[in-house]
């Protein structure tokens, strides 16, 4: 049985952790299957958005440390293979397409770090989050030390990175770390609805919005300003812009082709 369920549903790629008997603990094989799914999302022109979720009662209990100890000691870290794209975006290029994230139960360590490399997050009420690494003798190495303070503020991030304590879905919603807080069992449905709405929008417009936002965060606002109109120019020459204008004039829903 695959450790990750991967399914194309129209323009959405569903990526589901599938090791519920182990609370979806991530071993190296699961990592590489997720990385392959991310590569598929990036390189399949029919796909416009990903949805990451998990089977069972929990998103993930975190990394299976006994399987990863040798990797962490190699001085290079986690490396995706050929035909893979790092879902933590620590190594290699990142996605140009958005990912929606749905969590339930416990979402620890690598679960939080994959969430931080997604764009819209949904969590069921009662979901618990934690970066437990300092309680296991290491520190977070999947991006939490790089991204968490940006999401929830310096003090909030250090409060949990330095203690390994848990925080709640209510706290995450209050901080803006998650965008939708839903009843248990509704997280996948709501996340799929959001992903579907993204997939209906103009793909070049979505990817341009995401790219500009990422440049502003990673390189600064001035770099984003310099790239704004040069990046917009080819989008304005697309068939989708014509469709967007025509559908507005005809008072109908646009049908975009990503061209």
Q: What angle do CA 58, 62, 64 make, to 5 degrees?
A: 120
Asked if residues 38 and 86 have their Cβ atoms less than 8 Å apart, the reply is yes
Indicate if 29 belongs to the active site: no
The residue extents of the domains of the chain are: 4-200, 203-250
User: Top-level CATH class of 4-200?
Assistant: alpha beta
Tens-digit pLDDT string for the chain (259 aa)? 699 999 999 999 999 999 999 999 999 999 999 999 999 999 999 999 999 999 999 999 999 988 877 777 777 777 889 999 999 999 988 999 999 999 999 999 999 999 999 999 999 999 999 999 999 888 998 999 999 999 999 999 999 999 999 999 999 999 999 999 999 999 999 999 999 999 999 999 999 999 999 999 999 999 999 999 999 998 899 988 888 888 888 898 888 988 8
Q: Which of 21, 84, 113, 183 is catalytic?
A: 113
Distance CA 122, CA 101 (A): 6
Homologous superfamily (CATH) for 203-250: Lyase 2-enoyl-coa Hydratase, Chain  A, domain 2 (1.10.12.10)
Q: At which residue do the structure tokens 């089977």 appear?
A: 55
Indicate if 243 belongs to the active site: no
Q: Which of 84, 133, 151, 180 is catalytic?
A: 133
């Amino acid at each position: 049985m695959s450790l990750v369920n991967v399914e194309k549903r129209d323009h959405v790629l569903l990526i589901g952790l599938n090791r519920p008997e182990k609370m979806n603990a991530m071993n190296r094989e699961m990592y590489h299957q997720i990385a392959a799914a991310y590569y598929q999302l990036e390189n399949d022109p029919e796909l416009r958005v990903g949805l990451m979720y998990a089977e069972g009662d929990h998103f993930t209990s975190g990394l299976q440390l006994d399987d990863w100890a040798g990797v962490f000691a190699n001085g290079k870290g986690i490396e995706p293979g050929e035909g893979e794209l790092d879902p933590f975006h620590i190594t290699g290029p990142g996605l140009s397409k958005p990912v929606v994230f749905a969590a339930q139960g416990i979402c620890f360590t690598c679960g939080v770090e994959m969430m931080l490399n997604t764009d819209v997050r949904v969590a069921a009420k009662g979901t618990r989050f934690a970066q437990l690494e300092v309680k296991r003798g290491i520190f977070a190495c999947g991006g939490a030390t790089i991204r968490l303070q940006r999401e929830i503020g310096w003090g909030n991030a250090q409060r949990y990175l330095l203690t390994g304590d848990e925080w709640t879905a209510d706290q995450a919603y209050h901080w803006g770390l998650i965008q939708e807080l839903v009843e248990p069992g509704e997280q996948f449905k709501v996340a799929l609805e959001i992903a579907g709405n993204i997939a209906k929008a103009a793909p070049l417009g979505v990817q341009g919005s995401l790219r500009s936002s990422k440049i502003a965060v990673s390189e600064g606002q001035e770099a984003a300003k310099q790239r704004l109109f040069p990046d917009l120019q080819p989008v304005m020459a697309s068939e989708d812009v014509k469709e967007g204008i025509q559908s507005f004039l005809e008072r109908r829903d646009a049908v975009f082709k990503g061209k």
